Amino acid sequence: MVDDAQAPELVHYAVDGLVAHVTLDSPHNRNALSRQLVTELAERLERAEADPEVRVVVITSADRVFCSGADLSEASADGMSAGVQAIVGLQRYVVAMSKPVVAVVRGPVRAGGIGIVAACDIVLSAAEASFALTEVKLGLTAAVISLTVLPRLTSRAAAYACLSGAAFSGTEAVAMGLVTRAVPADELDEAAAALCAELATGAPQGLRETKALLARDLLERIDARADEMAELSARLFGSDAAREAMAAFLSRKR
């Protein structure tokens, strides 16, 4: 078995001018939220937060898939008690950062990945990208990611997306409240560069104080409900119904 010191990097970090780019690159599991990926993502965000030259942070993917959600292989083998706490912490950190965080979504986002998207301040998506809250199909619910997802979605959109598990496009996600703007895929990079340049004109103090003002209610929600949602998520992941559904899903992927 390859240890963590020898494992390939799953999250890349680069700074271009005033913009830090944090890129998910775990193609073997479609950028699933494995322990390694979540740990590396948190570390890269901390680097961006600590860099006084960085004014804007971008989270994106190296390939078309943004994130396939929880790593079901890890969840089925080891449970999700520690994993859900890490995902809660990651969402909270994104919301609490002093710099605007932009998600640039090229393609599919599923389940837990939508929690990361929802934690970001601004979301730019390819119109053709697809989103789905698929937990219901595995005997689960969008527990820990509800902390960031539900405040973004309209109540009608949340009910449909969570209860059906159906996919919706980047264009539809704008109307639902999850995405800020959707553009054709071939215009995404240009639109992202223009958006970051626009945000970077903000003074550091202005960005910091405005971000804190915007994040206040969402942080209060996370802090008030995090333990309850983490407990619910861990309990459902550990249930016989969910374990059976995850095993069936993983066997179909082989």
Active site residues: 135
26: tokens are: 């775990």
Short-list 101, 116, 109, CA closest to 173: 109
Short-list 154, 148, 37, 160, CA closest to 101: 148
How far apart, in Å, are the Cα atoms of 236 and each of 109, 136, 248?
21, 11, 16
Looking up tokens 């004109």 gives 201
Q: Do the beta carbons of residue 58 and residue 100 sit within 8 Å?
A: no
Rounded Cα distance between 155 and 169, Å, is 18
Largest Cα span, the chain:
52
Short-list 148, 143, 166, CA closest to 238: 143
DSSP state of 70: B
42: tokens are: 């948190």
Specify the amino acid at residue 97: M
Rounded Cα distance between 177 and 77, Å, is 35
